[in-house]
């Protein structure tokens, strides 16, 4: 009896916890892998999840940037200035556009007499009716009509950006974001990201022809699926080898239209914003680069005082118009903007790292050069305080939006 009791006690002390843990793991595996695999939809969702995991263009920043951060530290030590990069764009707020910069503050730097800069205004926090009137006044004063773009004054990666096609959609956007918003003229057409560096001469990431200023050009493609008259838009998304990776985002974009059956040959647009994490496809736009485009980007960039390094998001009526240097401005981003050609699916992770390291080396070089002529440089302590403050502000903003 004592032997049996001792064995039971040892099992309860050692074997039972392991058994419970094994059972819990089995439940997790069954729920996350086995059960989904029983349906076509579930299997395609598993495929999408796997492709997101194995394709680095979909990885979160924390998984991509550690080697780049190490490189920035090495470059800073080599140049004897860990924070030179904060002097990169002397005219920009928040250390040259490092974190939490105001879009309005940057837009105010753009030449107001340049037709390439579309009308915009700030919609301050307040009651929804009051804010809607401000949107309506903006449209009236600039002889515009819907659609209109509403986006947070402080935000990144396309979060909170809405293309509002009528007052009801504007009300929904205003209600979802009780923070300061930018109202801006909607610009149709194709979109590109033009990364510009003042006084830089060289070849782009994969370019063979030397040029000035235009470091990289990203061709932002709008994704779509083509109907067959049989499957719903949702089914078309799940069956598409690329769209399945971003299925959740595309289905959110479509809303109830995901259950419609598109006619055979009809194209269903899955995303409208030129933002990778919202579903746009980024390709290396080297083939679009012309001397006329380079000259136009150079001309506009040099009209922005205190701007030395960053990315223009531009729209043009067509690829041909863009190549003639005819475009309008969606946004201007500073220090931490990326040469987004790296998210071209044909770029390897190592290639992406090389481009990011190259652009940060240039940012440090430019910052050091600006500092030598009197541009302010943040100390490490000031930089840490800025990051801490903006991080807390961002968290508070997210909680307010959720409330």
CA 390 to chain centre: 18
Inter-residue contact 270 to 250 (CB < 8 Å): yes
**Measured distance CA(146)–CA(180) in Å, rounded:** 20
**Measured distance CA(403)–CA(98) in Å, rounded:** 28
Q: pLDDT 10s per residue in the chain (403 long)?
A: 555 556 656 555 566 566 677 777 767 666 666 656 678 888 888 999 999 999 999 999 999 999 999 999 999 999 989 999 999 999 888 888 887 788 999 999 999 899 999 999 999 999 999 999 999 999 999 999 999 999 998 877 667 899 999 999 999 999 988 999 999 999 999 999 999 999 999 998 987 788 999 999 999 999 999 999 999 999 999 999 999 999 999 999 999 999 999 999 999 999 888 888 888 999 999 999 999 999 999 999 999 999 999 999 999 999 999 999 999 999 999 998 999 999 999 999 999 999 999 999 999 999 999 999 999 998 899 888 888 887 766 555 544 444 4
171, two tokens: 């009300």
CA 213 to chain centre: 22
Question: What is the pTM (predicted TM-score) of this model?
Answer: 0.86
Radius of gyration for the chain, computed over Cα atoms and rounded to the nearest angstrom: 25
Strand 224-226 and strand 267-269: the pairing is antiparallel
Q: Kindly provide the residue ranges of all beta strands, DSSP E only, lying in 229-319, ordered along the sequence.
A: 267-269, 281-284, 309-316
Please give the helix or strand (H or E) that residue 149 lies within, else none: strand 148-152
């Amino acid at each position: 009896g004592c032997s049996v009791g001792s064995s039971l006690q040892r099992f309860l002390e050692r074997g039972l916890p392991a058994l419970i843990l094994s059972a819990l793991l089995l439940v997790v595996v069954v729920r996350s892998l086995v059960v989904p695999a029983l349906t076509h939809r579930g299997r395609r969702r598993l495929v999408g999840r796997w492709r997101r995991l194995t394709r680095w263009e979909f990885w979160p920043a924390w998984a991509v940037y550690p080697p780049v951060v190490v490189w920035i530290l090495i470059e800073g030590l080599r140049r004897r200035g860990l924070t030179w990069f904060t002097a990169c764009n002397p005219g920009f707020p928040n250390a040259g556009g490092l974190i939490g910069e105001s879009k309005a503050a940057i837009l105010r730097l753009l030449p107001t007499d340049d037709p390439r800069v579309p009308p915009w205004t700030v919609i301050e926090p307040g009651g929804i009716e009051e804010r809607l009137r401000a949107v309506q006044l903006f449209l009236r004063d600039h002889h515009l009509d819907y659609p209109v773009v509403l986006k947070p004054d402080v935000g990144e990666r396309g979060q909170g950006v809405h293309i509002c096609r009528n007052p009801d959609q504007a009300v929904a956007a205003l209600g979802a974001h009780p923070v300061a918003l930018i109202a801006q003229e909607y610009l149709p057409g194709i979109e590109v990201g033009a990364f510009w560096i003042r006084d830089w001469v060289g070849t782009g990431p994969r370019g063979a022809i030397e040029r000035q200023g235009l470091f990289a050009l990203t061709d932002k493609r709008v994704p779509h699926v083509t109907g067959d008259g049989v499957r719903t838009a949702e089914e078309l998304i799940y069956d598409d080898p690329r769209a399945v990776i971003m299925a959740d985002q595309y289905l959110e974009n479509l809303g109830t239209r995901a259950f419609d059956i598109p006619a055979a040959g009809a194209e269903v647009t899955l995303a409208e914003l030129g933002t990778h994490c919202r579903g746009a496809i980024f390709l290396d736009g080297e083939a679009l680069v012309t001397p006329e485009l380079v000259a136009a980007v150079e001309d506009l960039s040099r009209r922005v005082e205190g701007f030395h390094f960053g990315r223009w998001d531009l729209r043009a009526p067509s690829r041909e118009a863009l190549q003639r240097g005819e475009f309008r401005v969606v946004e201007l981003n500073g220090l931490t903007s990326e040469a987004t050609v790296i998210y071209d699916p044909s770029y390897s992770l190592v290639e992406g790292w090389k481009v990011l390291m190259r652009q940060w080396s240039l940012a440090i070089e430019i910052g050091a050069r600006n500092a030598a002529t009197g541009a302010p440089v943040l100390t490490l302590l000031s930089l840490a305080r800025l990051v801490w403050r903006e991080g807390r502000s961002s968290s508070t903003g997210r909680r307010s939006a959720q409330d």
